[in-house]
A and B are shown apart, each in its own frame.
Chain A
């Protein structure tokens, strides 16, 4: 079955709108993806027909809502190859998932001075700052892989050693588009007894991800970058580890029993889902997973590889454009950051917006990555299953206009 981008686009109502008098060219899916009608409808139906609170109501609506919420957990578990739905913890977003691990695992491991946590220079701030705070609390030391000129992780044989307790690395960079081959890092970490978290915020939406094949201990990703709604993220963790970890947020739903003298906690995943969760959002994420599964993640990934190859070639041909990150589609995804000689990314983004072309500009919540390439900001075009070669052409025409305004 060939991938039919025209048919896919017909599922996304927003793609028919205009921006500033031009057809919308949405090239900011690494920031947040658009939602198909199937996701929007599933959430509306839930709110119109099945709304109740979960895990606490005996009435029909509450039971339906609980079943819808847990169905979504099951879908997400199957999507990433989890052993059981109980390994799926719903969070607010990837940021909360990473903070959960930093807090709970940090406490479980009783980190102390002399222990080390390893990250990289191509991380999103959400996979830097929680570890900096954990190091401040515990006296542990933060270390990191550098990044090569080509936008790859720089090999460093001594970085992961017997002092390393946690390794937290991005699977696919939100700036450079690099897909990191993490197998060596995971193997090395496990060899020294360290645990591995992978930030899969940019990989799970775009390529087949199987937690068994990755062999990591935790992965984090978020609903709104994979056709789902905002407000829901996912932490997958090995059940045996989750079962040993103390709670992160405390309150309703995460308890076994509470007395005025003390509390015992529920088993995972409930232990990590204090308070009323994002229920309709979980339903929406479940619908998004259904949508992606029906298309097939291999097909989605192949489409994006084709678009990325076309975009790399097209942008390389635009004089004055410098691409940051891998120059060929191998080992990279459809997120492409670049500079336009002599023009600040804000100005690039503003001119493109006037032509209906929506890109992200700025530091992309990854200031160290920008600093590594000697720039304060970049322009980023990011693609998804609905991106067409015509849209890449529109981007290239927009860049010509940018140079005209600022030339």
Chain B
């Protein structure tokens, strides 16, 4: 059935048992994003220390895709340098915008590869990207650029 491609066990598992959920202090940057079409929202905080994202915390209201995506983001980006985070971020965005044509690299994306099926549901791509866009903004507010040509931690 088509749904199997969307609701992978990994996604449902992250949804039911989210990793790293809950907002934590201290933090260096925070961003709150909403999806205006469905009303989903998420707040992401980043804290940086010793040249890495020492913590990423989040809380939000949303569907299984957006909430599981936040959990996977936490697993993938916490403890990473801005350069590594930027690379993973770019790979995830490319996967989601690939209309199902992009073959995900498990070495880079880990559990994130489970979202490959989401890319075939255009209405849900925004759900999956919501926490990633909020993370990028939160990092920017902490003075860290996580676009593909990421810079050093300035803080």
Report if A405-B7 is in contact (Cβ < 8 Å); known contacts: A344-B64, A346-B63, A350-B121: yes
Q: Which residues of B (103-141) have their CB < 8 Å from a CB of A?
A: 121, 124, 127
Residues on B with C-beta less than 8 A from A362 are: 37-39
Q: Is the CB of A346 within 8 A of B40?
A: yes
Q: How far is the CB of A179 from chain B (nearest CB, A)?
A: 25
Interface residues on A, range: 10 to 19
Q: How far is the CB of A272 from chain B (nearest CB, A)?
A: 30
CA distance A367 to B65 in the complex (A): 21
The reply to whether the CB of A376 lies closer than 8 angstroms to some CB of chain B is yes
Q: Is the CB of B39 within 8 A of A354?
A: no
Number of interface residues of B (CB under 8 A): 21
Q: Is the CB of B121 within 8 A of A344?
A: no
The reply to whether the CB of B94 lies closer than 8 angstroms to some CB of chain A is no
Report if A354-B65 is in contact (Cβ < 8 Å); known contacts: A346-B127, A363-B38: no
Report if A354-B1 is in contact (Cβ < 8 Å); known contacts: A346-B127, A376-B61: yes
Can you list, as one digit per residue, whether each of B18-50 has a CB less than 8 Å from chain A (1) or not (0)?
000000000000000000011111000000000
The reply to whether the CB of B70 lies closer than 8 angstroms to some CB of chain A is no
The reply to whether the CB of A67 lies closer than 8 angstroms to some CB of chain B is no
Q: Which residues of A (369-407) have their CB < 8 Å from a CB of B?
A: 370, 376-377, 405-406
Residues on A with C-beta less than 8 A from B121 are: 350
CA distance A126 to B40 in the complex (A): 20
The reply to whether the CB of A20 lies closer than 8 angstroms to some CB of chain B is yes
Closest to B62 in A: A344
| A20, A344, A362: most-surrounded residue (chain B CB, <10 A) | A344
Q: Is the CB of B3 within 8 A of A350?
A: yes
The reply to whether the CB of A101 lies closer than 8 angstroms to some CB of chain B is no
Q: How far is the CB of A361 from chain B (nearest CB, A)?
A: 7
Residues on B with C-beta less than 8 A from A351 are: 3
| B37, B38, B41, B62: most-surrounded residue (chain A CB, <10 A) | B38
Residues on A with C-beta less than 8 A from B64 are: 343-344, 346-347, 406
Q: Is the CB of B39 within 8 A of A370?
A: yes
Q: How far is the CB of A146 from chain B (nearest CB, A)?
A: 21
The reply to whether the CB of B153 lies closer than 8 angstroms to some CB of chain A is no
Q: Is the CB of B39 within 8 A of A363?
A: yes
Q: How far is the CB of B109 from chain A (nearest CB, A)?
A: 22
CA distance A345 to B127 in the complex (A): 13
The reply to whether the CB of B6 lies closer than 8 angstroms to some CB of chain A is yes
Residue in contact with B63 in the complex, picked from A344, A367, A405, CB distance below 8 Å: A344
CA distance A350 to B38 in the complex (A): 13
Q: Is the CB of A354 within 8 A of B38?
A: no
Q: Is the CB of A376 within 8 A of B63?
A: no
Q: Is the CB of A346 within 8 A of B124?
A: yes
Report if A377-B1 is in contact (Cβ < 8 Å); known contacts: A346-B65, A350-B124: no
CA distance A212 to B15 in the complex (A): 53
Q: Which residues of B (67-93) have their CB < 8 Å from a CB of A?
A: 67
CA distance A20 to B37 in the complex (A): 24
Residues on A with C-beta less than 8 A from B61 are: 376
Q: Is the CB of A361 within 8 A of B1?
A: no
Q: Is the CB of B7 within 8 A of A376?
A: no
CA distance A344 to B12 in the complex (A): 12
Q: Is the CB of B39 within 8 A of A367?
A: yes
Residues on A with C-beta less than 8 A from B38 are: 346, 361-363, 377
Q: Is the CB of A354 within 8 A of B40?
A: no
Residues on A with C-beta less than 8 A from B12 are: 405-406
Q: Which residues of A (315-365) have their CB < 8 Å from a CB of B?
A: 343-347, 350-351, 354, 361-363
Residues on B with C-beta less than 8 A from A367 are: 39
| B2, B3, B121: most-surrounded residue (chain A CB, <10 A) | B3
Q: How far is the CB of B9 from chain A (nearest CB, A)?
A: 11
Q: How far is the CB of B114 from chain A (nearest CB, A)?
A: 15
CA distance A405 to B38 in the complex (A): 21
Q: Is the CB of A20 within 8 A of B2?
A: yes
Q: How far is the CB of A403 from chain B (nearest CB, A)?
A: 13
Residues on A with C-beta less than 8 A from B40 are: 346, 376-377
Q: Is the CB of B39 within 8 A of A377?
A: yes
Q: How far is the CB of A358 from chain B (nearest CB, A)?
A: 12
Residue in contact with B6 in the complex, picked from A343, A350, A376, CB distance below 8 Å: A350
CA distance A292 to B52 in the complex (A): 65
CA distance A361 to B65 in the complex (A): 15
CA distance A370 to B61 in the complex (A): 13
Known A350-B6, A406-B15; 9 more pairs at CB < 8 Å: A343-B64, A344-B67, A346-B65, A350-B7, A350-B124, A351-B3, A363-B39, A367-B39, A376-B41
- Write 29 A-B pairs (CB below 8 A) sorted by A numbering: A344-B63, A344-B64, A344-B67, A346-B38, A346-B40, A346-B64, A346-B124, A346-B127, A347-B7, A347-B63, A350-B3, A350-B6, A350-B121, A350-B124, A354-B1, A354-B2, A361-B38, A362-B38, A362-B39, A363-B38, A376-B41, A377-B39, A377-B40, A405-B3, A405-B7, A405-B12, A406-B12, A406-B15, A406-B64
Across the A-B interface, the 10 shortest Cβ-Cβ residue pairs = A346-B63, A344-B63, A363-B39, A362-B38, A354-B3, A376-B39, A376-B61, A347-B64, A377-B39, A347-B63
